[in-house]
Amino acid sequence: MKRSLLLAAALLSTSLAAADKPATPSPGEIVAAAPAAEWVRIAADDLLVMDLAPGPKGQARQVVIQLIPAPFSQGWTGNIRKLAAAHWWDALSVYRVQDNYVAQWGDADGEDKARARALPAGLVAVPESAYLAPFAPGMFRYRYTNWGRSEAIIPRGPVMLASDGSLPEPPPAINHGDAYATSVGFASGFAVAMRYAPSRGYLDPLAGSDADQPEAVWPVHCYGMVGVARDMSPDTGTGAELYAVIGHAPRHLDRNIALVGRVIEGMQWLSSLERGPAPMGVYTDPADRTPIVSVRLASELPAAQQPRFEYLSTESESFLRYGDAIANRRDAFFIQPAGGVEICNLRVPVRRVKE
């Protein structure tokens, strides 16, 4: 079954290569054409709205963060909801910006007990075990395993749709070779990595049977992801000090720090901040910090001010085709499709909607 699919894919790829190059939609065109039913509304209670002080030219600088849904990091996102409800971040700052790494915000005086802002009551201390989530049946529609890339047998043709337009099961193999995990995929709209028990057949490129389940799953540090700064282990951070990734994915932080969401709008207001001169990008002059005006859950804002977003379901057919199109760019600019895509370059489409 698996072998015949691979063979079919190879044949399909060959026959297309021999024919005239068909007009194929770009990744953006696939997303634009995705039916409404494939988009998932993000709940207002899952949106964190951070207003920074106006920029150097007086620009409004709003950063919108989508909190990560269950089963990931729920202890920390619970704390963050409490901190936002307490308006805890208001008049604090972005106090650390390290090039190709992170922009971090919260209480710049947090390590000085005499000057630190008191935390609201009711925050929980989350155990390190919560960096991982247990696998649950139905968690993924697609998983991709590390598999040495074979120019000969990984299909480079279009996505393998069946003749009636349905998706094959298992899905086509796209090379997601990953240096940090046995396997990667998407769960609840977020990029995740996973680990299998050593006895599992995780070298199988089309691992998809119920018998082949990962033993743990975790979100990964891609560009724009938001994490919880912490002290030395066993501290795991409360969620009061947060950072966003502004450079190449620091995947070595996976499973070492809690990830609690991703920036879905206004990322440039964090990524273009001046880098701090001290080690780790800390500003030596407090005047260089970027003031935070307020941080609110969108659900706390007046309805007219609530930003509304939706993301393309990572379980949808369009998402699969989008991933294929990114892995095998057929836009006119490209002369050499990659044949694969690293998990952090397969960014989940998110768009603002009016109501």
CB 9 within 8 A of CB 155: yes
Is-cis flag, bond preceding 170, omega within 30? yes
CB 344 within 8 A of CB 220: yes
Q: CB under 8 Å to 270, separation ≥6 — which residues?
A: 63, 94, 97, 103, 244, 246, 263
Q: Looking at 3, 35, 36, 56, which residue binds its own copies (CB under 8 A)?
A: 56
**How far is it, in rounded angstroms, from Cα 342 to Cα 213?**
21
283 binds its own copies, rule: CB under 8 A: no
Q: How many residues in total does the chain contain?
A: 355
344 binds its own copies, rule: CB under 8 A: yes
17 binds its own copies, rule: CB under 8 A: no
Q: Are strands 350-353 and 308-312 parallel, antiparallel or unpaired?
A: antiparallel
Buried b (16+ CB within 10 A) or exposed e, 21-47: eeebbbbeebbeebeeebbbebebebb
118 binds its own copies, rule: CB under 8 A: no
Q: Looking at 81, 195, 296, 330, which residue binds its own copies (CB under 8 A)?
A: 195
In whole angstroms, how far apart are CA 54 and each of 66, 246, 293?
Answer: 22, 20, 9
308 binds its own copies, rule: CB under 8 A: no
Q: Looking at 152, 162, 211, 304, which residue binds its own copies (CB under 8 A)?
A: 152
Stretch that binds its own copies, among 75-83, 176-184, 293-301, 308-316 (CB under 8 A): 176-184
Q: How many CB atoms lie within 10 A of CB 289?
A: 20
Least CB distance to its own copies at residue 79 (A): 20
23 binds its own copies, rule: CB under 8 A: no
Q: Looking at 340, 348, 349, 350, which residue binds its own copies (CB under 8 A)?
A: 340
25 binds its own copies, rule: CB under 8 A: no
214-273 residues in contact with its own copies (CB under 8 A) are 222-224, 232-233, 247-252, 254-256, 267-268, 271-273
151 binds its own copies, rule: CB under 8 A: yes
**How far is it, in rounded angstroms, from Cα 96 to Cα 98?**
6
119-138 residues in contact with its own copies (CB under 8 A) are 128, 131
Q: Which is nearer to its own copies, 83 or 184 (CB)?
A: 184
Q: Looking at 79, 93, 104, 145, which residue binds its own copies (CB under 8 A)?
A: 145
Stretch that binds its own copies, among 38-46, 146-154, 291-299, 309-317 (CB under 8 A): 146-154
Q: Which is nearer to its own copies, 255 or 321 (CB)?
A: 255
78-97 residues in contact with its own copies (CB under 8 A) are 97
Least CB distance to its own copies at residue 100 (A): 5
Q: How many CB atoms lie within 10 A of CB 249?
A: 20
Amino acid at 148: G
Q: Which is nearer to its own copies, 212 or 300 (CB)?
A: 212
172 binds its own copies, rule: CB under 8 A: no
Element housing 7 (H / E): helix 2-18
Closest by Cα among 39, 117, 106 to 312? 39
Q: Looking at 39, 88, 89, 147, which residue binds its own copies (CB under 8 A)?
A: 147
Q: Tokens 């390290």 appear where?
A: 98
User: Contact residues for its own copies (CB under 8 A)?
Assistant: 56, 97, 99-100, 128, 131, 145-152, 175-182, 195, 198, 202-203, 222-224, 232-233, 247-252, 254-256, 267-268, 271-275, 326, 329, 332-345
